[in-house]
Amino acid sequence: MLISVPKKLADKAKELGLDIESIVIDLLLKELSLDPREEAEVHLELAEKYLDKAKKYVNEKDPIQASEKMYKAVEEALKALAITCKTPEYGKALREGRWWTQLLGKTARRLAKMFNEPRIESTWAIAYDLHVWGFHEAKYNIDEVKDDIVHIEWIVKYAKEKIKTLT
């Protein structure tokens, strides 16, 4: 579905570091009151969608958009795992109405310990680095971004497989 947002709103949202698509999705999730399993499935689907877009941008040699889509794929994979595992961070995101960046970082740390899988935390660190330096600051070129796709692929696949075993 494609929605059109007035340029002034889109520009202001970007200045504030807000992602309009994420806000709309979060609002829909809140309004639709999906059960946790359905909500986790939505986040997994989004993770896969963002991963596909990231690969497309890598192929198009667009490091800025590739960086952001890689970050979004990791964000959605972490949310899906947090929902499935009912982490305290998921509870806080529910109470506060959104996932703050620090909640995602804490989620990555908790899940890494919970599953004894340090790559969860390191993949989050890579994704956050891409978000800041690849997307917001636009300091990375395509050669500096493209090799990170393997980490993003790993966490999306890991989340999907882990959630299957947990549900």
pLDDT digits 0-9 by tens, 77-101: 999 999 999 999 999 998 988 889 9
Residue 13 lies in a domain: no
Residue 44, Cβ density class (10 Å: 0-12 exposed, 13-18 middle, ≥19 buried): buried
**Looking at residue 85, which CATH number applies to its domain?**
1.20.120.330
- For residues 58-63, give the mean pLDDT: 97
- Work out the mean pLDDT of the chain and round it to a whole number: 92
Residue 108 lies in a domain: yes
Q: Could you list the residue range(s) of the whole structural domain that residue 69 is in?
A: 19-166
> pLDDT: is 145 or 14 the higher one?
145
Q: Residue 108 above 60 pLDDT?
A: yes
> Cβ neighbours of residue 88 under 8 Å, at least 6 residues apart?
110
Hey, how many other C-beta atoms are within 10 angstroms of the C-beta on 4? 6
34: tokens are: 């999906």
> Cβ neighbours of residue 157 under 8 Å, at least 6 residues apart?
none
What's the total number of domains in the chain? 1
Q: Residue 29 above 80 pLDDT?
A: no
149: tokens are: 């796709």
10: tokens are: 């889109």
Residue 36 lies in a domain: yes
Residue 55 lies in a domain: yes
Identify the band that residue 1 occupies on the pLDDT scale cut at 50, 70 and 90: low
Measured between alpha carbons, how far is 152 from 97 in angstroms, rounded to an integer?
26
Residue 10 lies in a domain: no
Residue 83 lies in a domain: yes
Residue 9 lies in a domain: no
Residue 47 lies in a domain: yes
Backbone dihedral region for residue 86 (phi beyond 0: left; psi -120 to 50: alpha; all else: beta): left
Identify the band that residue 35 occupies on the pLDDT scale cut at 50, 70 and 90: confident
Identify the band that residue 22 occupies on the pLDDT scale cut at 50, 70 and 90: confident
Q: Residue 140 above 70 pLDDT?
A: yes
Which helix (H) or strand (E) is 156 found in, with range? helix 149-166
Tokens 């600051």 found at = 137
